[in-house]
Amino acid sequence: MIIRSGVGGGYDLYSRMLARHIGRHIPGNPSVLPTNMPGGGGIVAANYVATVAPRDGTILTMVSQGLPTDQALGLTPSFKADLRTFHWIGNMSSSNQVTVVWHTAKTQSFEEAKKRETMIGSTGAGSVSTQLPALFNNLLGTKFKIITGYPDGREVDIAMERGEVEGRGTNPWASYKSAQPRLVKERLIRPIIQIGLEKEPDLPDVPLLLDQPVAPEDKPVLEFMSKAVMVGRPIGTTPGVPAARVEILRKAFDATLKDPEFVAAASAQNAEIDYMSGETLAKIIDDLISAPTSVHERVKAMLRPKDSDVRNTVNEK
């Protein structure tokens, strides 16, 4: 199991949880070895799976939520993988993305973020936590200062807590509840906008991106990004795997998510599971990458951060 982030955080938690249980449902009951491969907002791991990893069905990975959008728009030259060639096994969760601020930050609402510069942490260029704040700035008039270069989301959370940044670009709400429940229970973070097709049940007062006022020609941009969030926690294997082995992995994934031991483990970690089949996931990814060029170009313009809006922590060391 190739994990696109460091230890800790939502990608690591969900990947390891699946790794602990899926082997029971694969013929031969193989053990599954989690291997962390952080870097570039998930680009390092995706490139490895696409170009280096064995093409025999022995590799699983959870791809960064923002990478289908990255490929569709050609945002990052270092991203070499073609996600349409991956074999998609299933999706573990499609929780809304949320932008949060620390409870003591001067900015405490999305409207206030339009009035003052707010420093928010992010990971690499391929991360949705960089893409969406750029869109907010370009399309909705916020003044986010995007601080990139953190190795993973857990480091951004730590940076928030020590006052290095005021908030975090984006993260699935379900991931906060599972990987960082203290931040939610003690109300240390405040969601100021959510991205999805409808509001999270427990965030009824947090504005939805789809509801933001924009010109008619920009409505497809909001719809594209809201659909992109549905990719959630996508599990795939390498290109070139024989169809029979892909089918075995899909059946194993489906059985795992219904397995009482897995369900109990997910519940114990407050990990929200929202099943999506590999076939449905593959279609969503293909639809995003194959959307009309006019939509791609407009979305691309909105997701490209201005140089003045970005600072990289690595360059400061």
Residues 61, 186: Cα–Cα separation, whole Å: 32
Are the C-beta atoms of residues 135 and 221 closer than 8 Å to each other?
yes
Q: Based on the domain organization, do 17 and 54 belong to the same domain?
A: yes
Q: Which helix (H) or strand (E) holds 73?
A: helix 67-73
Q: Based on the domain organization, do 306 and 163 belong to the same domain?
A: yes
Are the C-beta atoms of residues 273 and 256 closer than 8 Å to each other?
no
Closest by CA position to 286, among listed 225, 228, 220, 223 = 228
pLDDT at residue 309 greater than cutoff 90? no
Q: Based on the domain organization, do 7 and 145 belong to the same domain?
A: no
Instruction: Write the pLDDT tens digit of every residue in 86-120.
Output: 999 999 988 899 999 999 999 999 999 999 999 99
Average the pLDDT over 68-92 and give the result: 93
* Average pLDDT over all residues of the chain: 92
Instruction: Write the pLDDT tens digit of every residue in 205-246.
Output: 999 999 999 999 899 999 999 988 888 899 999 999 999 999
Closest by CA position to 251, among listed 284, 285, 279 = 279
Q: Based on the domain organization, do 32 and 171 belong to the same domain?
A: no
Q: What's the predicted TM-score (pTM) here?
A: 0.75
Average the pLDDT over 67-95 and give the result: 92
Q: Based on the domain organization, do 52 and 169 belong to the same domain?
A: no
Q: Based on the domain organization, do 89 and 145 belong to the same domain?
A: no
pLDDT bin (cut points 50, 70, 90) of residue 22 is very high
pLDDT at residue 140 greater than cutoff 70? yes
Q: Based on the domain organization, do 102 and 190 belong to the same domain?
A: yes
Are the C-beta atoms of residues 249 and 26 closer than 8 Å to each other?
yes
The per-residue pLDDT for 317 is 41
Q: Is 256 left (phi over 0), alpha (psi -120 to 50) or beta?
A: alpha
Q: Based on the domain organization, do 14 and 85 belong to the same domain?
A: yes
pLDDT at residue 43 greater than cutoff 50? yes
The per-residue pLDDT for 126 is 57
Which structural domain range is residue 312 located in?
A: 97-227+296-316
Number of domains composing the chain: 2
